[in-house]
Amino acid sequence: MTDIALDNLELQELRIQDGEYDGTDTTDTGDCLPFSSVYNTVGFKEREAKVFLSCPITAKILEVERHTSRHNRSFPTRQRSESKSVPALYRIEMKHGEFMWTVKRKEKHFTDLHRDLRTHKALMKIPLTRSYSVRRTLPPNEERHMPSLPKGEENKQTRAESRKKQIEDYLNELLRMPLYRNYHAMMEFIDASQLSFIHDLGPKGLEGFVLKRSGGHRIPGFKCCGGSKICYRWSRRWLVVKDSFLLYMETDSGAISFVMLFDKEFNIKMDPREMKTKHRIRVNSLSRSLVLKCSSYRHACWWGQAIDDFVKKHSSAFLKDHRFGSFAREEKDIPAKWYVNGKTYMEDVADALEAAKEEIFITDWWLSPEIFLKRPVVEGNQWRLDCILKRKAQQGVRVFVMLYKEMSWALGLNSGYSKRTLRKLHQNIKVMRDPDHVYLWAHHEKIVVIDQSVAFVGGIDLAYGRWDDREHRLTDVGSMMLSHLEQAQAAASLSAPANGSSSEGNAGGFTHTDGKGINTLLDMMDQPKIKGKKKRTGLSIRKRLEKHSITFRHDSDSDLEEEEEKGPKVCGDPTGMGGELYGNTRFWHGKDYCNFVHKDWIQLDKPFDDFIDRYTTPRMPWHDIASVVHGSAARDVARHFIQRWNFTKRAKRKYRAPSYPYLLPKSHTTAQEQRYQVPNCINSKVQILRSAADWSAGIKYHEESIHNAYVHVIENSEHFIYIENQFFISCADNIHIFNKIGDAIAERIIKAYKEGKRYHVYVVTPLLPGFEGDINTGGGSAIQAVMHFNYRTMNRGERSIISQLRKEMGDHWINYFSICGLRTHAELEGRLVTELIYVHSKMLIADDNTVIIGSANINDRSMLGMRDSEVAVIVEDSETVASVMDGQPYQAGKFALSLRLDCFKTILGAYADPTIDVSDPVSEKFYKDVWMATCGRNATIYQKVFRCLPSSDVLSMTHLEGYLAKPGLDKEDPTRAHEELKKIRGFLVQFPMQFLCEQNLLPPIGSKEAIVPTEVWT
């Protein structure tokens, strides 16, 4: 191929002849660019780059300035005398669909653009390869020549307006022609990129090429390069400023190589003395100090001022320190919903995951890929977590999962197995584990975010043992199996010759072969009787089976309902040949059936193998609370996840590969465009809270907004507070304990006592900490260590809540303050069994109008911000309903009241006994005759029947053996034991305040628990 000199090309060659070029815009994206485009960026010079929408792009010159160089500013007289020869600077307003922005260009930029486009047109004619040929048919109305660049008139009297109009027409003509509009030089000229016109990223801000300096990141334990001139390096990047963040991209690959979220520390510095050099801008935030180099002083001023003005106009909400010191502001009219226990929570999570279109964010302290989100399992693997995620990934949804990387010698979570299992499902599923070198603290938050529009926040991990309902069953040895006729038919079908069709019906795991040619569902065991009435689920088994084309012989729903109420027999036709589905369904499969105080999890890579004997050991029920929020509040939850993800990507070398992309937050301006909403929500005022620090989120100052919110709500409560929490470690001595929640409770009660007002504090917490250990021998050292600090908060030591109250009111504290636990019982293989219900909730309700739900325990680990990472929501009601408080009419919040009523009815047994009135949480009748009477009576009965632990009758280890030697009624007189247990109402039991009160519960010297710093237990 001979070289062609551009100077030899004649002007005639600038004209576009018929059939010479394709006038069709191959990058047309329609009315809007999908948000998923952020994951498909390509090099800036690639023809596949999708930048513009289908609507036209127009330019309007707003004003013409005289470009003043730094030299001319030193000689103003000379400048005025030569003003007519000074080049013009055009301020141009661009418009493209809903987007408007401004660029500034000199005449030199126009001449450079014209030269580049002319060169581009010329090069397009050269057939470099056969596949590079672009000769196609032009539409009849396509422009057939490149517009000429207007030249300055020799007549000095020509008006500036005429010149401005000529330049404007020239630019608009170019923008109408796809051949030139889609050329990278034109995009650079108008400050446009592949991220400019994505609706969910908000308004278009400043864009363009800059030189950025390396370093400036705030990564604990690592000093980035950039501290001296010797270390740092400069790189050319494309900068994009949006309404809540800025980023820069690599032009060769189009990859996003850094994202800075705007926050309260955001500011722009342009002082040359501070920069130690000229033409530079420093952009500061909590996560980085980014230095940019510009081509001139004027360029630096324009960029610095433009970024600052845009951010202050569109991002003011992120630049403030919000209530409680939170990173997120209060959001009004947010659809919110609460969940008590994992059943309804996981069902809604499953439905929301199924509705995902673009992104799924998940972070958990522990995640079990094989967990079933909808139970009983009558639809095979349809609602198994890993199957849902794989299905969505195959549909193009990007799934991002962050797991806590535990210390394997201390915790048996096996997050490595979870990561490997999820990663191999599909390339669209990305999993990170963190941290590597932080040994004492954990990522403890539990978040699921769908398309940055729906966010689940609370205390429920998507993990084994968490699924439960208000029945809190102790046993699960049931099965679901096919009828004998159906098994015979299934066996016959298996032995029949293959007809070429695959057995897709069984691919989901609905049935499996037992090795004898019989298809069974799970196994063939009988379900024992359980405590409580059978409860029909919201979505009946009939409807679930009908989804899979399983028909029923019954003609009416009433017949089916009657059958369901009578027993576990369910009629169906899984084979399509007639038959019945009978037996009982397991709720907890394999590792999901657990009792972690009896035995911790093992062999998590074998998810469906039991690790405890479900015929001899009852499971430990799980009581938990969670929530879901939408809109702007969900955007804030997503923003927290994105900050953590991007920080981990920067901090850990293994995640710096392009296969782990940077995440971008969606704009709050589009937050109300809700594609999916969880049903039965209540509009409320919502604020997102968190505990975050340098190690967990890469921020300069730690945040403890959850702690601040708890203290504020307690101090300002008027009638009562109700707390459910996994831990109760507080009352600051500023030596071992620093959070002030316990002190705030004591002070608020003392205030009510001095004012002579009625006020109650209800606390529900586990009877034992959730660590493996045989309580019949005193429990393990870990259990006792946590018990020590729990009791130190409750009633032991001068800093405890009860000790503080006794100093002010003597024994009257009992009229204000109550601590309880939860326990239940059942019959297992013909014998009575009991077990505590593990309270894993992290919730506070105040005055039936304010609720805090999240992942934060009441201890220093969760509350101080510098330790475990946590997320919570505070929900304040905007809708009220008529209620009663202390015997008087009261306007209660719809969200808070409904949650409190459900909790009280569940634990007090009001669902089974409607005569129990829980409407007034402050009245003396309720407090003494219902709450205190129920917890006291239940505790006494359990003590008499089972001689269970913990018990206030056991003051030290020396008492333990004698206490256990005396049998309970369950062994001495089972008939009488059954009669006593009929008196039980609900699950509430009095907390054993004197259990091992004469024993030193701190870890003994020489034990591995004693080596661990005290902060681990607090």
Residues labelled as active-site residues: 444, 446, 451, 840, 842, 847
d(CA 458, CA 875): 12
* 74: number of Cβ within 10 Å: 9
Residues 6+ apart with CB under 8 A from 10: none
> Which tokens in the block code for residue 887?
């015997």
> Which tokens in the block code for residue 48?
């596949």
DSSP state string for 118-163: HHHHHHHTS-SSGGG----PPPTTS--BPPPPP---S-TT--HHHH
Return phi, psi of residue 703, to 5°. Answer: -125, 130
R_g (Cα) of the chain, nearest Å: 34
The residue written with tokens 């959730």 in the block is 770
d(CA 429, CA 389): 8
d(CA 673, CA 966): 65
- CA-closest candidate to residue 991, choices 824, 788, 819, 770: 819
d(CA 930, CA 918): 8
Return phi, psi of residue 986, to 5°. Answer: 70, -150
d(CA 456, CA 447): 6
Q: Measured between alpha carbons, how far is residue 265 from residues 72, 218, 290, 327 in Å?
A: 37, 13, 13, 11
Alpha carbon 994 to chain centroid distance? 40
H helices present in 652-780, as ranges: 694-697, 705-716, 741-755
Most distant CA pair in the chain, distance: 118
End-to-end CA distance of the chain: 77
d(CA 538, CA 503): 30
d(CA 203, CA 847): 41
Residues 6+ apart with CB under 8 A from 272: 278, 280
Would you give the DSSP letter of residue 589?
Answer: -
Would you give the DSSP letter of residue 498?
Answer: P
d(CA 336, CA 332): 11
Return phi, psi of residue 261, to 5°. Answer: -85, 135
d(CA 666, CA 675): 14
**Number of continuous H segments (helices) and E segments (strands) in the chain:** 28, 35
d(CA 469, CA 53): 49
d(CA 794, CA 802): 6
Task: Give the type of residue at 1003.
Answer: P
H helices present in 586-630, as ranges: none
In DSSP terms, which residues pair with 882 in a beta bridge?
Answer: 891
Alpha carbon 570 to chain centroid distance? 38
- CA-closest candidate to residue 869, choices 1016, 714, 630, 694: 694
Return phi, psi of residue 518, to 5°. Answer: -110, 130
**Burial call 421-449: b when 16+ CB within 10 Å, e when fewer:** bbeebbebbbbbbbbeebeebbbbbbbbb
Contact 637, 689 (CB under 8 A): no
DSSP three-state, residue 482? strand
DSSP state string for 838-856: EE--EEEEETTTEEEEES-
